[in-house]
Each structure stands twice: as structure tokens, then as C-alpha cells.
Copies of this chain bind each other. A is one copy, B any other.
Amino acid sequence: MQAKISEAVIRRLPRYYRQLKLLEMQGVEKISSQSLSQALNVTASQIRQDLNCFGGFGQQGYGYNVRELRGKIAQILGIDRKYQLVIVGAGNIGAALASYGSFISEGYEILALFDVDPALVGTSVAGLPVLHIDALREFLSGHGVQMAIIATPQAAALPVARQLTELGVQAIWNFAPVELVLDDVVVENAQLTDGLMALTYRLGELNHQSPQND
């Protein structure tokens, strides 16, 4: 097995995957790291270095076989199979995620949403039922659900995460505005505000590069 892959590389792999999938749909058979570099704003040497983490797939002077590389990255990311998810929290964010078409095309199937709000329970979102949180235990025991999305208010996120973990969920994608750190379960904290902050930081960089020079 390879050594532990750095967080930064894991962040770039889905971007490579997406670009390769697009190229494959366009009928492109091979691609150089230079061409990938231009489309993704990642240097060619960074791309080569990243892919070398997994043994490297390119051939000198040929480039990468698009289909083979896409398949290999899918395997590394674990998206060469299907996953079933539930969403806890059927408010704005939960509903938007339930309606997000791209998840399904990548093999992520959302089965149901859960909430405590009587105004939401019993309705449906994007064709999916909104069930009461009390039905979570029974629902999860009847399905092989490994992953869950938390889109609750801040205060509910940790108790919900603990409940999901007890019920066998192994991976949590958390959209509540609080950083969850849990043992024995993988958590991805999708702090939406962080994206804006990274953008603001780079906006500052852009504006400090004056037309004269620095």
C-alpha cells in the first residue's frame, strides 16, 4: 500500500476525475499533463507529482490514457461503486442537496430526508420522503446506509452525528456551521463560509498585485 496521501492531493483528485470524465465523453483518448494543467489551473508538474503518489500512470512522450486514468482515480476515490445516503435536516441546505442532480450521476443515491419540523415531516423533496427523525433507527436498520449528510442547525449537529454513528453510519458530510470531530467515523466538514473566506483572501492577493509591481 502507498503511504498516507496528503489532504491537498485528495482535494485535487476529484478535479482530475471530473475533467477526465468530460474528456472521455468528448471522445478524447489521451491527454498530456500540460493540457490537464491548462484546464484546471494546476501546474503540470503538480499533476504528475500527484499521480505519482499512486504509482503514476503516464508514459513519457505519450501522456495519459484518459479512460484508464479516470477509472483508476475512480477506484482510488472509491466511487467505482454505489453509495446510499440519508440527509438529516430538510431545511434550505438539506433540500438543495437532495435536489442536486450531480450526486446521482456519480453513484450517490439519497434515500430520504429526516427532520423534526412538523411542517416538513410528511412532505417530499425532489421526490424523496421527509421522515421524522424518530424513524431514523428503523430506516437505517432496513437499508445499508453508510453515509449521511447533516444539514441541521448548529446545536443539533453533534447529537445527530452521535446518533448516526451509533446506528452504523461511517461517513458524515456536515453542513451545519460547527466543526464536528468524531472518533471511528470519517467526517467532512463542508463549512460553506470557508469557501467565501478563501475567496476573500485571494481577492486581497489579487488587489495587492498592483499594475506597477510589488
Contacts and interface: CB of A to CB of B under 8 A. Distances in A.
Interface string A171-214: 11100010101000110111111111111111111111000001
Interface residues of A, number: 66
Contact of A96 (B10, B18, B76, B96): B96
A180 to B, nearest CB: 9
A195 B173 contact: yes
Contact of A92 (B41, B99, B146): B99
A203 B41 contact: no
Contact of A197 (B39, B77, B192): B77
The binding surface of chain A is classed by DSSP as helix
A138 B41 CA distance: 32
A33 interface: no
A25 to B, nearest CB: 12
B193 A14 contact: yes
A100 interface: yes
Contacts of A10: 198, 201-202
Contacts of A203: 78, 146-147, 170-171, 186
Interface of A: 1, 4, 6-8, 10-11, 13-15, 17-19, 38-41, 76-79, 83, 92-93, 95-97, 99-100, 102-103, 106, 108, 146-147, 170-173, 177, 179, 181, 185-186, 188-208, 214
Given A77-B197, A97-B192, A188-B196, 5 more contacts: A8-B8, A14-B198, A102-B193, A186-B202, A190-B195
